[in-house]
Chain A
């Protein structure tokens, strides 16, 4: 199995487009790493560089310590599941899976054994004689997967392999992919722009924006300890609510003043922010960390604008000046639009951001 290292990796398209901007990343052996980011942030480009389909502009790619930056794709021992499956339409399912093995000069009976084996694993054993045009999207997707598994690569690359499936199948395939990863233990780099997919599958998530890495961490880390405002708002649905506040320092106490409320921070929080000298600070509060409470304990009171019942919980939206704030609250007691609600924060879950740099501040070291 294998470790993948990207050192200073950069890709330019012409002079203008900087698709991937000097990224450093180490993918650990056996890890399931997810590249996550909005459309056009350079996920596909990164993946294609690792596969050898795209020439590297700058930087180095190491697989298991070996420099593969300038090797052709076939010499890298990686396999890829493409977004559109890219199964070969003129070959049967069997041939699709067997062809890469034939290219690698695997003996005939070994090929047959492996094809049967991965077909079993991906549940396409009864489709082996069909042509791709006779398969559904989900089945083609499994063929692509089977083909990728059969070659026993050092690294699996997957570019939004689930994006063309319907919602139900997609969720189902997530589980299967994880199961397969569990069995094969192959280092996997999985690209998606669906954050819930990323959260549910990843060992670690890499959040990218405009060709740069914004944060690398476990799903919990990027969710709970978002490194900056972009990650905080990109991860989680509904996204993190931001409150722009004025900092008041009185003796040792720290007060954050917002047009709707004034929040006095706990001594520990204040201590963590003692190096922060700027006058403005952004509070980041996840929707589930905004709590409904009674009037006397409330930080502020507002009128609910929209309420979306979700069965297990409800999403309440209200307006603060021109900003929409969302709360995820238990399904009961039920809130009605127009109802006056009393809101407070779960104090220990508040995050702080510097409005100028957008970076998180006041984290424990």
Chain B
């Protein structure tokens, strides 16, 4: 999509959200090569870096770090942020728009299930829906 919008100069910006466990897939790095090879400065990748995947902690399942160095060496502009800080998020998006000639990767440090005490940093909640009791409890905590 980013390549297509470059072709027709449509000025479209493409945002791509990646999980961190997902970065273990080879295709992500094929795409990363393509993005910098074709100078896709209209592409902004956001990595949801919660260090959790289905089998557990990312660095223990299959170590993907150091992420910033990997993206940098693949030709990306890299911005590290706290993924729960709205000011940092907005600033990062604004900065990414000014980057020329290369794509941007925003590595957002996050906590899975943030704000819900029994969900925070628990890999088990990766693909599970809360039951009604858990749901009500979670909503109560989030409204605090």
Q: Are A and B genuine complex partners?
A: no
